[in-house]
A and B are shown apart, each in its own frame.
Chain A
Amino acid sequence: MSDSNKNSERTIRVGALARVEGEGALHLSMRNGRVEQVRLEIYEPPRFYEAFLRGRDFREVPDITARICGICPVAYQMGSCHALEKAMGVFDQIDPPIRTLRNLLYCGEWIESHILHMFMLHLPDFLGYESVITMAADHGPVVKTALKLKKLGNEILAAVAGRAVHPVGVCVGGFYKAMEPARAQALLPEVRSALDEMCNLTLFLAEKIEYPDFERSYEFVALCPENEYPMNLGRIRSNRGLNVDQEEFGQAIEERHVPHSTALHSIIKGRGAYMVGPLARLNLNHEKLHPRAAELLPKVCAAVKRDLPWRNNFLSLPARALETVHALAPAADILERYQPPPRPFVPITPRAGSGGHGTEAPRGICWHHYRTNADGTIASAGIIPPTSQNQMTIEEDLWQLAEQITDLADDQACQRCEHLIRNYDPCISCSVHFLKFSRSFDGEPAPAR
């Protein structure tokens, strides 16, 4: 990434210790077969980006935040754009065609991210393979179709925002340049074909997988717009009464530093842990699914033998599949009707201000807050990614699982824990074996960190 000030020297000081290695460490302390403690550490890249966003021009923020996550750049870009548009006082002026193009961009990201996670990271767990590499030997056609669909998601990103990897076309206010209608028409046949294939894959995942029996009571939190399945807009609600405007979300939750982890834990003030992500979105918004996804829902529920709301996060796999069908269907609708917006972006005059906004990253709400100075530079930045919001819920899941795996050897116990953590698709699940796993029994000291 090039500095916009090529001729000036810049010293960036990061206050917190820059821990850039992605480590997942889990320690379970057991006594008399009961869990005494669960310690889970998950890497959180946004923490370090918040520090060096300070002093940057607001127009640089989408490009910088796109590099927080290689798989979900759009989620970070959309959160930053919406929050900064509020800070700059233009949020309500964003033209509907620009919002439609943003939805199409998000469809591309959901397709790419969900397909990658479902078929290359999560499905091997369910089918008993060590990785997608060994799974491909026996399920080549499924993996081949998945690769084709993932590539299509990236092609949508490239068509709308110039590039699939760290999209360059997104700006605060809209897009530097709107997609040409010819590109939309070129994508349409492939998207329609992919939609049919994904419907078949969704039924495959629902019918052919035996899902572990693991139910808990969760507070599900998601964007809940009035008339559409959530991606960019909507009030933030839960199944237990949370109902806040986007700006208020930061006040409704609390980030805590816990002694055993460098990752912050988010809780709903006065309550506790909550879940964001596909299961939360589906449970709270299923009636707003596109008709192509809605017609699959009863078949999926029958196949997994559970009506909504689902309280088993292993069912995040069919939830993601339904969401992928949903993303392909409105993408096809948008591409079919596409006309470029009258203006690709809304012009902005920098000002001092503040704004908070979250959008639905594939893994869940990713919420941003910025304060800007009068010259448009960033005074402060706060980013709450889905991983930290789910951290406490993951630990509580692991707490329940730990008592079920007491008799397993460490390597098998570790695999079960990794499988559970992958339900949440956090920022460490890329490695086949990503956990530094340890257990201690009956008062033994935990290993040094």
Chain B
Amino acid sequence: MASPRPRADGGLTMADVAPVLVAACGNAMAGDDAFGPAVAAALRRESPAHCQVIDLGMAPTALLDHLQGRAALIIVDAAEAPDAGDDLMEFDWDSPARPALVRQEQLSTHGLSIAAQIELARAMGLLPEVVKLIAAPVGEAQLGRPMDAAARLVERAAARVRALAAELARASAGDVS
């Protein structure tokens, strides 16, 4: 994906960036916390249209590098929801029912968490209008363990991201400046 080019006023046009950004987060070496990176890998095997997929791994601070000019952001991550059963979860990011991400405030060592990144983006006027979370519920994510319950949800999550990205891209198509 080429880097977006600035307008004369310094902003970016929707024509220069994919309208939907999918940002996957998680530690590929920590059990079900590998859910995000696994979904990113599945998406790369069959890339969704109108969509850029980035695997932030354990460095969510890179999220802010990619937000400008987007119509929508989809976060893919593991979520702290041990009582939520084993089904895929989907929330608006600002929904009060949204569960916390695994180690939400501690995922990034001496960096900024995804939640803080999103709030900073909002404060800087960079946050897309639509922000969604697609998450696998996990009980714990222990370092050195392979994925367990979340592994069964990877392909379903990738399919849902593709469908959601297409919906969001169609919805934004009328807003291209």
Interface residues, chain A, with chain B CB atoms under 8 Å away: 1, 12, 14, 18, 20-23, 43, 45, 48, 51-52, 64, 67, 69-71, 73, 116-117, 120-121, 131-134, 136-137, 140, 143-144, 147, 150-151, 154, 164-166, 363, 425-432, 434
Instruction: Return 18 A-B CB contacts under 8 Å, by A number.
Output: A12-B145, A21-B106, A43-B109, A45-B109, A45-B143, A48-B143, A67-B27, A67-B58, A69-B58, A69-B110, A70-B59, A71-B110, A134-B123, A164-B59, A165-B56, A166-B58, A430-B106, A431-B105
User: Which of B13-21, B44-52, B60-68, B163-171 is the contact stretch?
Assistant: B60-68
**Contact between B106 and A120, CB atoms less than 8 A apart:** no
In the complex, A348→B171 CA distance in Å?
53
**Contact between A70 and B143, CB atoms less than 8 A apart:** no
Nearest residue (CB) in B for A1 is B28
Tell me if B111 is interfacial: C-beta within 8 Å of chain A.
yes
Residues of A within 8 A of B172 (CB): none
**Contact between B110 and A67, CB atoms less than 8 A apart:** no
**Contact between B55 and A165, CB atoms less than 8 A apart:** yes
Residues of B within 8 A of A425 (CB): 110
**Contact between A136 and B120, CB atoms less than 8 A apart:** yes
Interface core residue of B55, B61, B105 (most chain A CB under 10 Å): B61
In the complex, A303→B148 CA distance in Å?
56
Interface core residue of B54, B64, B110, B144 (most chain A CB under 10 Å): B110
Against A, the Cβ 8 Å flags (1 = close, 0 = not) of B102-131 are 010111111111001001100110000000
**Contact between A143 and B124, CB atoms less than 8 A apart:** yes
Distance in Å: Cβ of A209 to nearest Cβ of chain B? 20
Residues of A within 8 A of B76 (CB): none
Residues of A within 8 A of B124 (CB): 136, 140, 143-144, 147
Tell me if B134 is interfacial: C-beta within 8 Å of chain A.
no
Residues of A within 8 A of B61 (CB): 70-71, 116, 150
In the complex, A388→B8 CA distance in Å?
48
Residues of B within 8 A of A147 (CB): 64-65, 124
Residues 140 to 156 of chain B near chain A (Cβ within 8 Å): 141-145
Residues of A within 8 A of B105 (CB): 430-431, 434
Distance in Å: Cβ of A84 to nearest Cβ of chain B? 19
Residues of A within 8 A of B103 (CB): 20-22
Residues of A within 8 A of B109 (CB): 22, 43, 45, 69-71, 427-428, 430
Give the contacting residue for A431; candidates B34, B54, B113, B142; CB below 8 A: B113
In the complex, A14→B29 CA distance in Å?
13
In the complex, A23→B58 CA distance in Å?
17
Nearest residue (CB) in B for A425 is B110
Distance in Å: Cβ of B79 to nearest Cβ of chain A? 16
Distance in Å: Cβ of A169 to nearest Cβ of chain B? 15
Distance in Å: Cβ of A56 to nearest Cβ of chain B? 12
Can you add 8 more A-B contacts, CB < 8 Å, to A69-B110, A70-B109? Answer: A1-B28, A1-B34, A14-B143, A64-B29, A147-B124, A363-B110, A427-B110, A428-B109
**Contact between B110 and A426, CB atoms less than 8 A apart:** yes
Distance in Å: Cβ of A394 to nearest Cβ of chain B? 13
**Contact between A20 and B30, CB atoms less than 8 A apart:** yes
**Contact between A428 and B57, CB atoms less than 8 A apart:** no
**Contact between B30 and A70, CB atoms less than 8 A apart:** no
**Contact between B110 and A429, CB atoms less than 8 A apart:** yes
In the complex, A20→B124 CA distance in Å?
32
Distance in Å: Cβ of B27 to nearest Cβ of chain A? 7
Nearest residue (CB) in A for B41 is A2
In the complex, A18→B31 CA distance in Å?
12
In the complex, A376→B108 CA distance in Å?
32
In the complex, A428→B34 CA distance in Å?
21
Nearest residue (CB) in A for B142 is A18
Distance in Å: Cβ of A79 to nearest Cβ of chain B? 16
Give the contacting residue for B144; candidates A12, A131, A136, A428; CB below 8 A: A12
On whether A70 and B57 interact (CB within 8 A), knowing A133-B116, A164-B62, A430-B106, the answer reads yes
Distance in Å: Cβ of A181 to nearest Cβ of chain B? 18
In the complex, A69→B123 CA distance in Å?
27
Residues of A within 8 A of B113 (CB): 430-431
On whether A154 and B62 interact (CB within 8 A), knowing A20-B141, A69-B109, A428-B110, the answer reads yes
Residues of B within 8 A of A1 (CB): 28-29, 34, 37
Q: Which 3 A-B pairs have the closest CB atoms?
A: A70-B58, A22-B106, A70-B59
**Contact between B65 and A151, CB atoms less than 8 A apart:** yes
In the complex, A315→B108 CA distance in Å?
24
In the complex, A137→B122 CA distance in Å?
11
